[in-house]
Amino acid sequence: MRPWEDKIRKVTPYVPGEQPKIKDIIKLNTNENPYPPAPGVAKKLANLDVNAFTKYPDPNVSDLVNAIASFYGLDASQVFVGVGSDDVIAQSFMTFFNSDKPIMFPDITYSFYDVWAKLFNIPYETKPLNDSFEICASDYYGENGGIIFPNPNAPTGVAVSLSFIEDILKHNKDVIVIIDEAYVDFGTKSAMSLINHYDNLLVVQTFSKSRSAAGLRIGYACGNPELIAALNAVKQSYNSYTMNYPSIVLGVEIVNDRPYFEKCCKQVVDTREKTKEALSELGFTFPDSKTNFIFATHPKYDAKEIFEYLRNNNIIVRHFNAPRIDNYLRISIGTDAQMNRLIDVIKEYISKKKA
Amino acid sequence: MRPWEDKIRKVTPYVPGEQPKIKDIIKLNTNENPYPPAPGVAKKLANLDVNAFTKYPDPNVSDLVNAIASFYGLDASQVFVGVGSDDVIAQSFMTFFNSDKPIMFPDITYSFYDVWAKLFNIPYETKPLNDSFEICASDYYGENGGIIFPNPNAPTGVAVSLSFIEDILKHNKDVIVIIDEAYVDFGTKSAMSLINHYDNLLVVQTFSKSRSAAGLRIGYACGNPELIAALNAVKQSYNSYTMNYPSIVLGVEIVNDRPYFEKCCKQVVDTREKTKEALSELGFTFPDSKTNFIFATHPKYDAKEIFEYLRNNNIIVRHFNAPRIDNYLRISIGTDAQMNRLIDVIKEYISKKKA
């Protein structure tokens, strides 16, 4: 052992989905959007001022904060921006989850929550989803240090209603409740409308899914101005300038193009519904996804085996080697052509198994 | 008091230098480079693939890590990249400073160190610089939880030798010693050459000063592969994808253009030396800066008053309202023309005071 080893933090990091460098692969493993970001982005990019790169960007990210606030009809004091929603949620854990009591989240959910809790030494308890992969509100009525869950949940794709969220908020007025809405734009009602009614609510969203900009790293949180000020104080105690100049300029362009955003979301939803039908016909079952992925299982075939068969045919989906979900595949929604190819390869797999 | 307020982390954030939106201001307050980034950046920017924005960037930032490793003749396993050196140092505090013993740094130094220590609940002790603003090596011989200081130091501009750093490393084999080399390229020997000899050394640098890219947010740390692996584990437990696609592509272009980088550094150093002469002639004194700023004081005139006079003439420098240094100005090195204008305005101020 090296003499300094006992001073080093030991952690088990989150394992992100593969970002393969192979060309012509159909990548359906990290829930990216198959469509490019708003058309204005290319023009803004061409006009970016290289001389501005020498200067630090605006530490308050005002242009982007204002654009997001305006999109939701909120005040700028209700919006916080970070380097992807992971950055926003990590900072939220640090800012809001300071209690001896455990924070609570579902047993099957975004697999970064327990990683952050461990990183920041936050006690936590997981509450099991029921057999239909639904969150049970009453599990979250007891004493706790804070609550977080995605709506819709990941990797299940199952959504809850706003009245469900209000019920949880009312039972937990002494802690912060974070709703992680990474996938909300694909057919779920956002809790943004509850922000002015519940001062303990923080709603987190991202540009990585519905806004086609995972490569720019932009996420945001909305909540009452006191929560946002507390987040900004922690952020300014960590790194004053997190959002770089290109992300600020291009991010504004993306959020300002509402019609393109809505068109893309609708296209993804249409493709998802068609894919659900095709998967059903092949015997797959899945919770009713309101996201840009489908969490599917087959009563006859092994998920890991299908995963590998797809991989060998240049299609990557996600398989989690975790209790209760290890016979499921999480399949991101790509273009119609990509999903048709996926279905064809699965048909091929099934016919070979039957042969 | 709101019922959830006791769960919120209370911090006093770092206060970054002003980023004014006024045009035609001469900005000498945050040590940015007056010259644009490498000329290849504009071409790379024009060719950036908007379609790639939809995908998550490479979480390992391999292209940029490889380029930096190659620049210093290191192995890729010895390089960690983050969102500016603030991000890199914040993560280093979290990764390496886990001890009940206090970490140590100078009393006059980068004012983010105590902010990070407080944010992460790390005990710390500051060691006073001597009256010439020099670090005293023997102050760092005692038991501690880790050491960090900039070389050259900021805001003083004073550098130490590599043998000084080796002395500190040898006296502290059981902790991690971080040398923050934000300003090293303007005339100080880098400790990069010591990395293969001391396994407890971490050297941090940034693209924000000598590489003219504060707006892109790129910093890096170099050290033995075990330290870099520990940093990556913490980073992957916080945010898998911190470096966005434009920063990775443009960062590679910047680090690959060594001749332009060296030319810019030389130009800044030449201007600094001319500015030193001009300030001396006006009666200012300052430690012998090896950075892209001068930390100057005048025996007759009040620093705060000069600061305000300059501000009223559209020149911003930095004044710290802190013990021992509140009669100093930290003046970043701009172009020759900008520094001539600075000197002219100071002359005007002095002649008015004499009148």
Determine the distance in angstroms separating the CA of B351 from the nearest CA of chain A, rounded to an integer.
Answer: 33
Question: Both tokens of residue A323?
Answer: 């209790």
Query: Residue B8: inside a domain, yes or no?
Result: no
CATH number at residue A165: 3.40.640.10
Determine the distance in angstroms separating the CA of B15 from the nearest CA of chain A, rounded to an integer.
Answer: 8
The predicted model scores a pTM of 0.96
pLDDT in tens, A304-344: 999 999 999 999 999 999 999 999 999 999 999 999 999 99
Using CB atoms, which residue from B50, B118, B239 is nearest to A45?
A: B50
Determine the distance in angstroms separating the CA of A352 from the nearest CA of chain B, rounded to an integer.
Answer: 33
Q: Along the 355 residues of chain B, how does pLDDT read in single tens digits?
A: 789 999 999 998 888 888 887 888 999 999 999 999 999 999 999 999 999 999 999 999 999 999 999 999 999 999 999 999 999 999 999 999 999 999 999 999 999 999 999 999 999 999 999 999 999 999 999 999 999 999 999 999 999 999 999 999 999 999 999 999 999 999 999 999 999 999 999 999 999 999 999 999 999 999 999 999 999 999 999 999 999 999 999 999 999 999 999 999 999 999 999 999 999 999 999 999 999 999 999 999 999 999 999 999 999 999 999 999 999 999 999 999 999 999 999 999 999 999 8
Alpha-carbon distances, residue A242 vs A64, A247, B24, B220, B254 (angstroms):
13, 10, 25, 15, 20
Q: Are residues B329 and B229 in the same domain?
A: no
Q: Does B291 touch chain A (CB under 8 A)?
A: no
Using CB atoms, which residue from A98, A234, A245 is nearest to B7?
A: A98
Q: Do A37 and B54 count as a contact with CB atoms less than 8 A apart?
A: yes
Residue of B nearest to A144 (CA): B7
Q: Are residues A338 and A249 in the same domain?
A: no
Q: Are residues A179 and A83 in the same domain?
A: yes
The dihedral over CA atoms of B221, B224, B229, B232, expressed in degrees to the nearest 10, equals 0
Determine the distance in angstroms separating the CA of B185 from the nearest CA of chain A, rounded to an integer.
Answer: 16
Query: Residue B206: inside a domain, yes or no?
Result: yes
Q: Do B237 and A119 count as a contact with CB atoms less than 8 A apart?
A: yes
Question: Which residue, A224, A257, A290, sits at the end of a domain?
Answer: A257
Q: Are residues A232 and A330 in the same domain?
A: no
The DSSP line for B66-101 is HHHHHHHT--GGGEEEESHHHHHHHHHHHHH--SSS
Q: How far apart are CA B90 and CA A241, in angstroms?
A: 13
Q: Are residues B226 and B273 in the same domain?
A: no
Q: Are B202 and B222 in contact (CB under 8 A)?
A: yes
Residues 197-256 of A with CB under 8 A from B: 199-200, 208, 212-217, 226, 230, 232-247, 250
Q: Which amino acid is at B177?
A: V
pLDDT in tens, A172-228: 999 999 999 999 999 999 999 999 999 999 999 999 999 999 999 999 999 999 999
The DSSP line for A258-286 is HHHHHHHHHHHHHHHHHHHHHHHHTT-B-
The dihedral over CA atoms of A101, A103, A106, A110, expressed in degrees to the nearest 10, equals -150
Query: Residue B7: inside a domain, yes or no?
Result: no
Query: Residue B6: inside a domain, yes or no?
Result: no
Domain count, chain B: 2
Give strand pairing partners of A318: A330
Q: How far apart are CA A290 and CA A185, in angstroms?
A: 9
Q: Give the HSE-up count for residue B271: Cα atoms under 13 Å, Cβ half-sphere.
A: 26
Q: Are residues A272 and A311 in the same domain?
A: yes
Q: Are residues B55 and B71 in the same domain?
A: yes
Give strand pairing partners of B222: B79, B203
Q: How far apart are CA A319 and CA A304, in angstroms?
A: 7
Q: Are A236 and A95 in contact (CB under 8 A)?
A: no
Using CB atoms, which residue from B3, B30, B90 is nearest to A238?
A: B90
Query: Residue B4: inside a domain, yes or no?
Result: no
Axis crossing angle, helix A84-96 with helix A225-236, rounded to the nearest 10: 100
β pairing state of A146-150 and A103-106: parallel
Among B22, B58, B240, B316, pick the best mutation site for testing chain A contact (most A Cβ within 10 A). Answer: B240
Q: How far apart are CA A268 and CA A254, in angstroms?
A: 17
Q: Are residues B118 and B202 in the same domain?
A: yes
Q: Are residues A205 and A79 in the same domain?
A: yes
Q: Does A53 touch chain B (CB under 8 A)?
A: yes
Determine the distance in angstroms separating the CA of B271 from the nearest CA of chain A, rounded to an integer.
Answer: 18
Q: Do A50 and B41 count as a contact with CB atoms less than 8 A apart?
A: yes
Q: Does B102 touch chain A (CB under 8 A)?
A: no
Q: Do B240 and A14 count as a contact with CB atoms less than 8 A apart?
A: yes
Q: What is the maximum span of chain A, computed from C-alpha positions, in angstroms?
A: 65
Residues 156-175 of B with CB under 8 A from A: 173-175
Q: Are residues B76 and B134 in the same domain?
A: yes
Determine the distance in angstroms separating the CA of A355 from the nearest CA of chain B, rounded to an integer.
Answer: 38
Q: How far apart are CA B90 and CA B192, in angstroms?
A: 20
Tokens 């090195």 correspond to B333
Domain range spanning residue B271?
14-36+259-354
Q: Are residues A178 and A250 in the same domain?
A: yes
Q: Are residues A196 and A295 in the same domain?
A: no
Distance of alpha carbon B355 from its chain centroid, rounded? 40
Question: Which residue, A199, A228, A257, sits at the end of a domain?
Answer: A257
Q: How far apart are CA A228 and CA A286, in angstroms?
A: 37
Q: Are A88 and A204 in contact (CB under 8 A)?
A: yes
The dihedral over CA atoms of B114, B120, B125, B131, expressed in degrees to the nearest 10, equals -20
Residue of A nearest to B94 (CA): A9
In sequence order, which ranges of A23-150 are alpha helices (DSSP H)? 40-46, 62-72, 84-96, 113-119
Question: Which residue, A257, A275, A307, sits at the end of a domain?
Answer: A257
Q: How far apart are CA B311 and CA A318, in angstroms?
A: 56
Give strand pairing partners of B328: B297
Q: Are B82 and B220 in contact (CB under 8 A)?
A: yes
Tokens 């939809």 correspond to B54
Using CB atoms, which residue from B14, B215, B233 is nearest to A237?
A: B14
Evaluate whether ipTM surpasses 0.85. Answer: yes
Among B49, B56, B112, pick the best mutation site for testing chain A contact (most A Cβ within 10 A). Answer: B56
In sequence order, which ranges of A97-206 are alpha helices (DSSP H)? 113-119, 162-170
Q: Which residues of A are less than 8 Å from B115 in CB distance?
A: 237
Helices first, then strands: H and E counts in chain A: 10, 11
Query: Residue B138: inside a domain, yes or no?
Result: yes
Question: Both tokens of residue A306?
Answer: 């299908």
Nearest to A62 by CA among A249, A257, A256: A249
CATH number at residue B316: 3.90.1150.10
